[in-house]
A and B are shown apart, each in its own frame.
Chain A
């Protein structure tokens, strides 16, 4: 299959690739934000724990 033909998507390239690109962006953004939120919470929990230990 011709690559240029594939990328052209029968003339609908703009629409098809925008949709897939946007979907990728949203899925990746969700993935990253879920990881970031978890890491943040973990970090703040660790900080609180070490604070508590230092105080006692």
Chain B
């Protein structure tokens, strides 16, 4: 086991392995996302209350899920990098951050577009949208801190501490926001409260989430390879890798 970790942790090996792995993520991701899009837009029946607007769910919910999933991945990678001093883990955390920020942005914007026909305004201070907004701030802070160091090792370790502090805080932030919004709920009518979605509507959602996960895996492979190249620019193994 340890041997395997060390073998995988060595940059040349990881670089090659990631290159081989990437298509196994990429093509299934493309297939599943296309399938789920067709299923969600065409095959799934319209919601009796929200009509066809509920189809936004199939892009909003997976994005929101991925935004949180990516943060956890980033924090776990950062923790591994900090504790065992594995550079590859730091590189993975660095690669995950912009992807997570993109998903968070997507969840926010699609949530807002969904809110317009449902609530009548583009923005409602509801618990889920507000937590997504705060999550976006956390991502931006993380990336800003990483960018402000010249020394990559210091950037790695300092941003790792921040990611861990952040991931402990995420549940606290989330529940405080939920608590806050339930207190003020009387002001807004929540049509969006999910009245237990029927199974035929759920299947495309799960396919889409699986597709997004694989897509994330592909992106990580590519970005991690770039990170390895950037960090190992003077290493001799690069000659054979080309």
Q: Do chains A and B touch in the complex (CB under 8 A)?
A: yes
Task: Out of A16, A34, A41, name the residue touching B219 (CB < 8 Å).
Answer: A34
Q: Are B230's CB and A27's CB within 8 A?
A: no
Q: Is the interface of B mostly helix, strand, loop or mixed?
A: helix
Specify which chain B residues have a CB less than 8 angstroms from the CB of A35 in the assembled complex: 222
Specify which chain B residues have a CB less than 8 angstroms from the CB of A31 in the assembled complex: 219
Q: Interface readout for B132-170 with A: 1 if CB under 8 Å, 0 if not? A: 000000000000000000000000000000000000000
Q: Are A45's CB and B229's CB within 8 A?
A: yes
| Nearest CB in chain A to that of B234: its residue | A48
Q: Interface readout for A7-46 with B: 1 if CB under 8 Å, 0 if not? A: 0011110011011101100110111001101101110111
Task: Out of B33, B42, B113, B233, name the residue touching A1 (CB < 8 Å).
Answer: B42
Q: Which of B33-71 contact A (CB under 8 A)?
A: 33, 37, 41-42, 46, 51-53, 55-56, 59-60, 63
Q: Are A26's CB and B56's CB within 8 A?
A: no
Task: Out of B37, B53, B223, name the residue touching A38 (CB < 8 Å).
Answer: B223
Q: Are B106's CB and A10's CB within 8 A?
A: no
Q: Are B113's CB and A15's CB within 8 A?
A: yes
What CA separation (Å) do A6 and B41 show in the bound complex? Answer: 8
What's the least CB distance linking A30 to chain B, in Å? 6
**B interface residue numbers (CB < 8 A to A):** 33, 37, 41-42, 46, 51-53, 55-56, 59-60, 63, 99, 102, 105-106, 109-110, 113-114, 116-117, 215, 218-219, 222-223, 225-226, 229-230, 233-234, 238-239, 242
**A interface residue numbers (CB < 8 A to B):** 1, 6, 9-12, 15-16, 18-20, 22-23, 26-27, 29-31, 34-35, 37-38, 40-42, 44-46, 48-49
